[in-house]
């Protein structure tokens, strides 16, 4: 067994998860309640069988993490304590101050060190492509060792993608520079369908310009949203849940305030954390104190901080079943790169870490079981030669022939943030798609400066860009195709939810050079679609 | 928007048509808002001028721990250092060093960016953390050792213990402390600030059952907890308030005081001597310190052991350096008996601190109690950090 990661594993983006992880573990809470909140949050696009699995297994997962050593916050009795989060009918978010993701990931890395004789780590190895055999099974992956540039073909009975989201397609974004959706694009290129790609979450509280996130935990602890007139505007949009409505609802409310001239001149509204007791801020939101101080120059314990909706999370990804299996035998996906779909049209805060853990474990168990049952199938070494040739070609490109990678990346990001954001319409989406297609052409001749083998980040940037462009194209096409408003997809030209026509997933499968549109049904078990009110 | 010059210590890993392998300096002109970071500046240079400039980075928000570098000589994160502030510091440093010189020192000086110290460089600002940092992390058995019998539900533990170890869990493994550590420079085998902070994460965790063995291991290792010289560099360098030195001091207190571990390194005796002398004299008498740590009673009835004499002789160079640099009082004052007492009621103050420390055992958790300014800060810290370093702490 081996783990391949393009950065040292503890640098992975999961460490950015501040707020926490959901589970119905408190007395009086039930997994059904958690599941219903998730279904409602998803605007009824989530698959209820998958949501049931996730919510039922959540408590065990939290306890397992606790036993491994995650120092979850305790209440006065020394038992696990919770905080409130958006879209949830109960406080069921377990947390470690506001470094939950980091704490969990570091503890899991401790376990990797502990079991180093069972699991090999390939740290700073960049995967460039999946190896598919003649029968259509996934049988390995090609990687580039970042430290010395050597290319290698890893053979495996199963490959599990856990490559994270693709937020870098947007600029700004709360996502780290490594979130370029490599796995999503690699699976797509190998022929696996992608699903729900139009569903892109804009988080309600990000720092303008820089894209840094202020955790939802801040609102969970009681912080208010105010417009430039000092009004607590959520009263108008979600009188019951106020600031703790679903993210799509809160982001739209903010953007409406801003668009209608009630925001600040810099296109923001304010988040007032000063209403939270100071001691509690320092204990539970200290990372935010630092973010405010270091990145915005604001002491959040004393004054409100300016925020706006910003790109944050991709609900869509590689289509899988509840065991993480994709349509390609031997290829699994879990976490943000996958679409089970438990998040549907809108993910609830603190459900994503849970998604990664539950379906990561299930994918692992299923793959291990499959490995026992099947024989080895050797990948053809041709794929290695192909990948080497692809990289060789990029390295050889002349400067005079094209644009810089960074220029293309910048244009992609600003275009997507303009047209494929909180509010969308046909005109904008069409523009975005045209731009993406032009950039795809331009990327073919874009040049890099670094021709070396050791730590050549330039070549990796070129590969990431091509992955990003593939996902971006799928997102634009799906968003154009869905002519209704549901969850994170709000079409100003089709402002209503339309269950009759659109209570279904859009899938995208590579066909020649372009994605082919298909559909998948939404699984409904016990909760019939209803109007969403917060 | 403002213009800045980044003077980057680069290292070419392999020879090519642009030149031979090896280190060199290169300056990049960048233009950005002063509130953006040095990392933003480096990325702009990389994006617009030279894509081969190597620097690890990912989160841009001091979370992932990728971008440890030295800026104007200080170990830190590139994404956490505002470029405007870095500029001011570069100018200030130039003024201080050029104090006497005329003319230059005015205007903007280049902001100097170098790879982290105490680690081999792979390329440009990218260092080999595996062979230095991670190897040492693995040295401290970095996983929870529980009783092998987890309860059905969670383990019930005092809530403050979880808050306490969250300070060390907050470590992002960036290596800035390792880069800045003076002991590490002198002894590359020193386990070092980050790994020892990681060790405290388990020692302080009530769910871990191997506390005594861990402490014994870290105390007996000649490159362990007693190898730290209290230089504070790691506390200054750490971007996440982990305060590695404080964690090391807590490990020492647990080892020497609570678990009575007598180490082979004379660490505990040195520390006991330290505390005793200050209690008696109200201030540190370095002349007594050496003698007390290595050979209690050398002037009295007890005969020092061979090892003690060896230790004492081994310390002579340090003592001489101490006198030279003024850290230790000059020779005439080394004569026992004439060590001056502290003026006024200072001696009483010291006594009161001791009394307080003995009666209240408060663990220092800077991360939490240190930032709370509504209530007066509690007297925390082990006695020796409070007394010895109170002043430095105020400065830092
Ligand atoms: C700022 C922020 C705050 C968040 N807060 C929360 C929260 O409070 N609660 C919550 O539940 N969710 C939260 N989320 C969402 C959640 O953090 C992510 O969705 C989740 O961590 C994704 O985990 P992952 O394992 O899928 O991917 P990641 O953690 O991103 O890991 C991806 C891994 O894949 C590797 N990889 C990628 N491409 C390649 C390649 N080509 N070759 C080799 N390796 C590769 C990377 O090196 C990395 O190790 C937050 C997200 C952000 C951005
Ligand atoms: S205080 Fe100790 S651990 Fe920290 S830098 Fe100085 S010598 Fe190293
Ligand atoms: S203790 Fe601080 S400086 Fe050292 S590795 Fe951890 S976060 Fe970085
Ligand atoms: S880029 Fe992540 S810590 Fe600086």
Give the CATH number for residue B164: 1.10.1060.10
Q: What is the CA radius of gyration of chain A?
A: 22
**For residue B196, is it within any domain?**
yes
A16 neighbourhood in chain B, CB within 8 Å: 59, 61, 63-64
Question: With a cut of 0.90, is the ipTM above it?
Answer: yes
Judged by average pLDDT, the poorest of A292-301, A322-331, B167-176 is A292-301
Q: Does B40 touch chain A (CB under 8 A)?
A: no
Looking at chain A, the whole-number percentage of residues with pLDDT higher than 70 is 100
Q: Please say if the pLDDT value at position A482 is more than 90.
A: yes
A162-182 pLDDT, tens digit each: 999 999 999 999 999 999 999
Contacts of A124 (CB under 8 A, 6+ apart): A5, A6, A7, A8, A145, A146, A147
**For residue B110, is it within any domain?**
yes
Average pLDDT over residues B292-299: 54
B295 within ligand 2 shell (Cβ under 6 A) = no
Minimum-distance CB partner of A454 among B14, B56, B65: B14
**For residue B379, is it within any domain?**
no
Give chain B's length: 396
Same domain, B81 and B137: no
Q: Please say if the pLDDT value at position A54 is more than 90.
A: yes
CA angle A447/A434/A206 to nearest 5° reads 80
Q: Which long-range contacts (CB under 8 A, 24 or more apart) does A494-501 make?
A: A497/A43, A499/A44, A499/A529
Distance from CA of A237 to the nearest CA of B (A): 32
User: In a 3-state reduction of DSSP, which class is residue A227?
Assistant: coil
Looking at chain B, the whole-number percentage of residues with pLDDT higher than 70 is 74
CB-CB contact of A387 with A151 (8 Å): yes
Burial class of residue B338 in the structure, from the number of CB atoms within 10 Å of its CB (0-12 exposed, 13-18 middle, 19+ buried): exposed
- A247 included as an active-site residue: yes
CA A152 from chain center: how many Å? 28
Closest CA to A324 of A362, A368, A371, A284: A362
Closest CA to A347 of A264, A249, A464: A249
Q: What is the pLDDT of residue B354?
A: 78
In this structure, which ligand is nearest to the CA of B180? 2
Same domain, B193 and B100: no
Q: What is the pLDDT of residue B367?
A: 43
Average pLDDT over residues B245-260: 94
Q: Please say if the pLDDT value at position A374 is more than 80.
A: yes
**For residue B389, is it within any domain?**
no
Residue B356 structure tokens: 């307080």
Q: Please say if the pLDDT value at position B99 is more than 60.
A: no
CA angle B369/B371/B377 to nearest 5° reads 50
Q: Does A119 touch chain B (CB under 8 A)?
A: no
Which one is predicted more confidently, A29 or B374?
A29
Average pLDDT over residues A387-392: 97
**For residue B149, is it within any domain?**
yes
Q: Does A228 touch chain B (CB under 8 A)?
A: no
Average pLDDT over residues A237-261: 95
Confidence of residue A492 (pLDDT cuts 50, 70, 90): very high
Same domain, B225 and B325: no
Residue A323 structure tokens: 């065991």
Q: What is the pLDDT of residue B309?
A: 55
Confidence of residue B323 (pLDDT cuts 50, 70, 90): low
Q: Which candidate in A247, A252, A362, A497 is catalytic?
A: A247
Average pLDDT over residues A193-207: 97
Q: What is the pLDDT of residue A217?
A: 86
Alpha-carbon span A155 to A139, nearest angstrom = 6
Alpha-carbon span B249 to B261, nearest angstrom = 14
Same domain, B85 and B169: no
Closest CA to A347 of A305, A308, A317, A307: A317
Q: What is the pLDDT of residue A287?
A: 80
Same domain, B119 and B179: no
Q: Does B156 touch chain A (CB under 8 A)?
A: yes
Contacts of B211 (CB under 8 A, 6+ apart): B202, B203, B254, B259
Alpha-carbon span A420 to A439, nearest angstrom = 16
Same domain, B118 and B132: no
Same domain, B324 and B222: no
Q: What is the pLDDT of residue A473?
A: 98
Q: What is the pLDDT of residue A359?
A: 98
**For residue B81, is it within any domain?**
yes
Distance from CA of A245 to the nearest CA of B (A): 27
Q: What is the pLDDT of residue B300?
A: 42
B71 - beta bridge partners?
B74, B113
**For residue B282, is it within any domain?**
yes
Q: Which of B123, B145, B174 is the last residue of a domain?
A: B123
Sequential DSSP letters for A413-459: HHHHHHHSSSSB-HHHHHHHHHHHHHHHHHHTT-B-S---STT-HHH
Q: How many domains is chain B built from?
A: 3
Q: Which of B76, B104, B123 is the last residue of a domain?
A: B123
The full 3-state SS of A114-175, as one line of letters, equals: HCCCCCEEEECEEEEEEEECCCCCEEEEEEEECCCCCEEEEECCCEEECCCCCHHHCCCECC
Name the phi and psi angles at B30, rounded to 5.
-130, 160
B142 neighbourhood in chain A, CB within 8 Å: 110, 113
Alpha-carbon span A85 to A80, nearest angstrom = 16
**For residue B381, is it within any domain?**
no
DSSP state of A9: G
Same domain, B55 and B13: yes
B117 within ligand 2 shell (Cβ under 6 A) = no
Pocket of ligand 3 (CB under 6 A): B 171-177, 193-194, 197, 237-240, 242, 244
Closest CA to A443 of A475, A411, A421: A411
Which one is predicted more confidently, A30 or B332?
A30
Confidence of residue B263 (pLDDT cuts 50, 70, 90): confident
Confidence of residue B385 (pLDDT cuts 50, 70, 90): very low
Q: Please say if the pLDDT value at position B386 is more than 50.
A: no
Confidence of residue B337 (pLDDT cuts 50, 70, 90): very low
B52 neighbourhood in chain A, CB within 8 Å: 449-452, 456, 458
A70-104 pLDDT, tens digit each: 999 999 999 999 988 888 889 999 999 889 999 99
For a pocket test of ligand 3, which of B172, B234, B239 has the largest count of ligand atoms closer than 8 A to its C-beta? B172
Same domain, B300 and B224: no
Contact: A450, B48; criterion CB under 8 Å? no
Q: Please say if the pLDDT value at position A462 is more than 90.
A: yes
* Mean pLDDT for all residues in chain A: 96
Residue A15 structure tokens: 């460490």
CB-CB contact of A431 with A499 (8 Å): no
Q: Which domain holds residue B283?
A: 267-359
Phi-psi region of B213 (alpha: psi -120 to 50; beta: other; left: phi over 0): alpha
Average pLDDT over residues B175-180: 98
As a whole number of Å, the end-to-end CA separation of chain B is: 30
Q: How far is the CA of B189 from the centre of ligand 2 (A)?
A: 13
Q: How far is the CA of B7 from the centre of ligand 3 (A)?
A: 25
CB-CB contact of B73 with B112 (8 Å): yes
Same domain, B144 and B259: yes
Alpha-carbon span A259 to A261, nearest angstrom = 5
Contact: A68, B144; criterion CB under 8 Å? yes
Q: Does B145 touch chain A (CB under 8 A)?
A: no
Confidence of residue B305 (pLDDT cuts 50, 70, 90): low
Q: Which of B210, B235, B264 is the last residue of a domain?
A: B264
Average pLDDT over residues A49-73: 97
Same domain, B145 and B180: yes
Output the domain CATH number for residue B91.
Answer: 3.10.20.30
Q: What is the pLDDT of residue B371?
A: 40
Same domain, B102 and B134: no
Q: Please say if the pLDDT value at position A412 is more than 80.
A: yes
Nearest residue on chain B to A214, alpha-carbon basis: B61
CA angle A25/A28/A29 to nearest 5° reads 45
Q: What is the pLDDT of residue B349?
A: 78
CB-CB contact of A468 with A457 (8 Å): no
Q: Does B172 touch chain A (CB under 8 A)?
A: yes
Confidence of residue B284 (pLDDT cuts 50, 70, 90): confident
Contacts of B141 (CB under 8 A, 6+ apart): B202, B210, B214
């Amino acid at each position: 067994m081996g783990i391949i990661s393009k950065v040292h594993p503890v640098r992975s983006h999961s460490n950015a998860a501040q707020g926490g992880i959901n589970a119905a573990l408190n007395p009086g809470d039930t997994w059904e309640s958690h599941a219903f909140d998730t279904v409602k949050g998803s605007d009824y696009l989530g698959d209820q069988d998958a949501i049931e699995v996730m919510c039922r297994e959540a408590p065990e997962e939290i306890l397992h993490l606790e036993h491994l050593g995650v120092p979850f916050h305790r209440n006065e009795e020394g038992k696990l304590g919770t905080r409130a989060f958006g879209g949830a009918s109960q406080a069921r978010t377990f947390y470690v101050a506001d470094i939950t993701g980091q704490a969990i990931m570091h503890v899991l890395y401790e376990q990797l060190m502990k079991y180093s004789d069972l699991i090999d780590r390939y740290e700073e190895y960049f995967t460039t492509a999946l190896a598919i055999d003649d029968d259509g099974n996934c049988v390995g992956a090609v990687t580039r060792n970042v430290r010395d540039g050597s290319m290698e073909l890893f053979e495996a009975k199963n490959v599990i993608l856990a490559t994270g989201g693709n937020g870098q397609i947007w600029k700004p974004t709360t996502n780290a520079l490594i979130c370029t959706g490599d796995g999503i694009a690699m699976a797509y290129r190998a022929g696996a369908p992608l699903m729900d790609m139009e569903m892109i979450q804009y988080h309600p509280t990000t720092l303008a310009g820089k894209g840094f996130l202020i955790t939802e935990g801040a609102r969970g602890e009681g912080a208010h949203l105010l417009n430039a007139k000092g009004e607590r505007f959520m009263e108008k949009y979600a009188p019951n849940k106020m600031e703790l409505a679903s993210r799509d609802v809160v982001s739209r409310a903010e953007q409406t305030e801003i668009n209608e001239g009630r925001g600040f001149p810099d296109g923001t509204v304010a988040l007032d954390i000063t209403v939270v007791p100071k001691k509690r801020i320092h204990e539970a939101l200290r990372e935010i104190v630092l973010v405010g101080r270091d990145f915005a120059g604001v002491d959040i314990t004393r004054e409100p901080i300016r925020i706006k909706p910003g790109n944050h999370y991709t609900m869509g990804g590689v289509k899988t079943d509840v065991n993480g299996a994709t349509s390609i035998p031997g290829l699994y996906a879990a976490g943000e790169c996958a679409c089970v779909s438990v998040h549907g049209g809108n993910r609830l805060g603190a459900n994503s870490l849970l998604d990664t853990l539950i379906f990561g474990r299930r994918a692992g168990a299923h793959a291990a079981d499959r490995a026992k049952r099947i024989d080895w199938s050797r990948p053809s070494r041709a794929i290695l030669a192909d990948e080497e040739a692809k990289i060789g070609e990029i390295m050889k490109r002349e400067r005079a022939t094209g644009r810089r990678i960074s220029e293309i990346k910048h244009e992609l990001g600003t275009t997507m943030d303009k047209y494929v954001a909180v509010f969308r319409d046909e005109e904008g989406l069409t523009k975005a798609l045209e731009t993406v297609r032009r950039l795809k052409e331009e990327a073919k001749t874009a040049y890099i400066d670094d021709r070396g083998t050791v730590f050549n980040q330039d070549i990796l940037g070129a590969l990431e860009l091509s992955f990003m462009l593939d996902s971006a194209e799928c997102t634009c096409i799906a968003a154009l195709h869905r002519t209704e408003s549901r969850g994170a997809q709000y079409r100003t030209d089709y402002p209503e939810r339309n269950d009759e026509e659109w209570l279904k997933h859009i899938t995208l499968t590579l066909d020649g050079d372009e994605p082919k549109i298909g559909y998948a049904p939404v699984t409904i078990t016990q909760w019939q679609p209803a109007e969403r009110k917060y | 928007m403002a213009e800045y010059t980044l003077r980057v210590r680069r290292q070419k890993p392999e020879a090519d048509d642009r030149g031979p392998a090896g280190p060199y300096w290169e300056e990049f002109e960048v233009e950005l808002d002063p509130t953006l970071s040095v990392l933003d500046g480096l990325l702009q240079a990389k994006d617009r001028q030279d894509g081969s400039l190597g620097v690890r980075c990912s989160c841009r928000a001091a979370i992932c721990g990728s971008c440890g570098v030295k800026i104007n000589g200080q170990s830190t994160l590139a994404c956490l250092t505002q470029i405007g502030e870095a500029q001011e510091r570069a100018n200030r440093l130039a003024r201080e060093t050029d104090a006497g010189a005329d003319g230059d020192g005015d205007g903007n000086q280049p902001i100097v960016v170098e790879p982290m110290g105490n680690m081999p460089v792979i390329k440009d600002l990218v260092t080999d953390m595996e062979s230095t940092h991670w190897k040492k992390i693995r040295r401290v058995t970095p996983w929870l050792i529980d009783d092998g019998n987890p309860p059905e539900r969670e383990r019930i533990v005092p809530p403050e213990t979880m808050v306490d170890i969250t300070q060390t869990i907050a470590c992002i493994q960036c290596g800035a402390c390792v880069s800045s550590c003076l002991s590490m420079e002198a002894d590359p085998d020193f386990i070092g600030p980050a790994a020892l902070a990681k060790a405290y994460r388990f020692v302080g965790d009530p769910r871990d059952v191997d506390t005594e063995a861990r402490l014994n291991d870290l105390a007996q290792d000649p490159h362990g907890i007693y190898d730290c010289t209290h230089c504070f560099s790691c506390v200054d360098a750490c971007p996440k308030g982990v305060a590695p030195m404080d964690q090391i001091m807590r490990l020492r207190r647990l080892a020497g005081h609570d678990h009575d571990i007598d180490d082979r390194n004379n660490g505990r005796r040195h520390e006991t001597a330290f505390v005793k002398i200050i209690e008696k004299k109200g201030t540190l008498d370095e002349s007594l310190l050496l003698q007390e740590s290595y050979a209690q009673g050398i002037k009295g009835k007890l005969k020092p052991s061979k090892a003690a004499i060896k230790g004492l002789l081994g310390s002579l160079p340090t003592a001489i350096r101490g006198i030279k640099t003024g850290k230790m009082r000059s020779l005439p004052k080394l004569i026992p008996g004439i060590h001056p007492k502290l003026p006024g009621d200072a001696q009483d103050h010291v006594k009161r601190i001791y009394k307080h420390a003995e009666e209240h055992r408060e663990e220092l958790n800077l991360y939490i109690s240190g930032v709370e300014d509504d209530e007066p800060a509690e007297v925390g810290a082990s006695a020796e950090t409070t007394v010895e370093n109170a002043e430095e702490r105020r400065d830092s």
